A and B are shown apart, each in its own frame.
Chain A
Amino acid sequence: MKKVVKGFWLLMASLALIAPAVCHAEEAIKIGYIATMSGPGASLGTDILDGFKLGIRHCGDKLGGMPVDLVVGDDQLKPDVGVQVATRLLEKDKVDIVTGIVFSNVMMAVAKPITDQGLFLISANAGPSPLAGEQCNPNFFAVSWQNDQTHEAMGKYLQDKGVKRLYLMAPDYQAGKDALVGFKRAFKGEIVAEVFTKVGQPDYAAELAQLRAAKPDAVFVFYPGGMGVNFIKQYAQAGLKEEIPLYTTAFMLDQSSLAAMGDACLGIMNASFWSPDLDTPANREFVADFKAAYNRLPSLFAAQGYDAALLMDSAIRAVGGNLKDQEKFRAALRKADFQSVRGKFKFNNNHFPIQDFYIRQVVKNEEGVLTNKIVATAFTDHADAYHEQCPMKW
């Protein structure tokens, strides 16, 4: 009996010796994905993750030829929680690279702690202006956009269209103010009023009555998420859609919000860097496969997640999986040697994309599903307004 026990222990000990060697042969790249995965802001985080996972699948369930170990963290839309999650991913899970981050306030809190550790952070959504300008960072890349760019595109479109008197509305917080600043950078006509409402306000009846009385030529608003669904429904229900044309950006009319608005959103124009009908080979494949995998049309957020995976794949492959050599990995990311769903894609000196922006309109497709369709191009090769303040040159 004693012998058996002894043999058992020996066997266990030898297994323990073998185990690390086995792991080593199958070394995986460990990716930390941090996003808002719970609470009212969760649909963006899940959309980006779905796109990201599809990207991994398109690269053969690997990134850069290496198996992927994906660790998901929930920042709960709180900057302090974001920092806690990032610390956990860095120190306990020992991730090799971090991506995700939906909201700019979370991004501003986690960017420094992550990049200070020598890790690379690939934003799949948030593109706050400080990180594009003076605080630009050699280990930070945004595969999405700079926050102001999409609003600038709509400003440019309405300016070119010759709209005279415009009414502006946004929630009273940083992203709302940035949206209107970006819009006004390109729109030079008369601003009848600039109305800021409380963040998360559900009902806009009072503000819409004021808007109607002001009789502007058009309205530009920025209300992301649930606020946007409320606003669009109430705008249509008040009969304003036929009276005063409404313009916005894709953050309000992304694919995941359209169903919740119903026909109220039909025909509304919005600016975006991407659209499901964008005719590039990579995009056709992405949209078809996303639909097959998740049984719904992708949103722009899913497209960003997909591109984040493809960008990582290209750079990890270029350095043969060695992310420790930061110089080489950075150079590989800068090349952006991947087939973006938007067609051409390149990084500016501040690691934000230089890209085209389109004007889309909400339509019903052949199956009767609400979706967006490109009707015009607002900008080609558009760089953000902050890149000149970024001291990084390459």
Chain B
Amino acid sequence: MKEEEKIQPKNPMEEFLRMDRIPHIWCPGCGIGTVVTSFAEALRKSELDLDKVAVVSGIGCTGRVAGYIKLDSFHTTHGRAIPFATGLKLANPDLKVVVFSGDGDIVGIGGNHFIHAARRNMDIVVILVNNFNYAMTGGQVAATTPISANASTAPYGNYEYPFNLPYLAEAAGATYVARWTALHLRRVTKSIQEALAKRGFSFIEVITPCVTLYARRNRLGDGLNLLKYYHDLSEIQHGADTRTLDISYQGKLIVGKFVDKEKPTFLDAMNEHLSKVLGDKYQAYGVSHD
């Protein structure tokens, strides 16, 4: 072994990362990298053909994920990762399409697309990294900021009700819904694995520390302090009623897998319906006719 190889051992995730783009832009203590690690691990375990997995991100800190993942990867516009993924999936149904983006991107500016993709049971996996604020732009209040938490555009504390995302996802029609924190590395990996193996709209929320903005502004300490909060106040309740999953400021975090059901996907429903109505005139779309 050459000397430099000894000094710089290979990154164990090298297979999944664009090493020519590392170091990444995320802050020390940020949780996004942890979720990326879980994603890479889930891919490894999934045994999927990686040539057929595509990642679509929107804009924001988590929006940068697409740029680091060594798969077909698209860094799109703010809020539009899900409709982009919808087009990609429908054009090439062989693909496993993963949307990897933040709370502001997916349920703030892109909220409408989120509920409609869930309603249609579009066969995509949505990994939403929830850091409770708009971090890329400097810590503004978000649709996920807990009440009373401070943000740069909520300097007196937030008074808007935040979304309960698992409830929203389930109500809109998602067939797989889970929530974890960045502390639950193994569980996040397992959920992503399950979602990758599933057909239908899968949604995984991962609560992550934003040390530079959310934690600093709220004097919550560093990354370790936030992980300790997750450790002390998160509670695994698989199958919990999603109506009970509101998050209060530094309050209890109910995590787990809440929904895992089967339902025809958009394409399944389309093929089934059109075959029934049109008969021989219709050839099922996106399935091999060889």
Chains A and B are bound partners:
no
Residues of chain A touching chain B, judged by Cβ–Cβ distance below 8 Å, are none
Please give the residue numbers on chain B whose beta carbons come within 8 Å of chain A beta carbons, in ascending order.
none
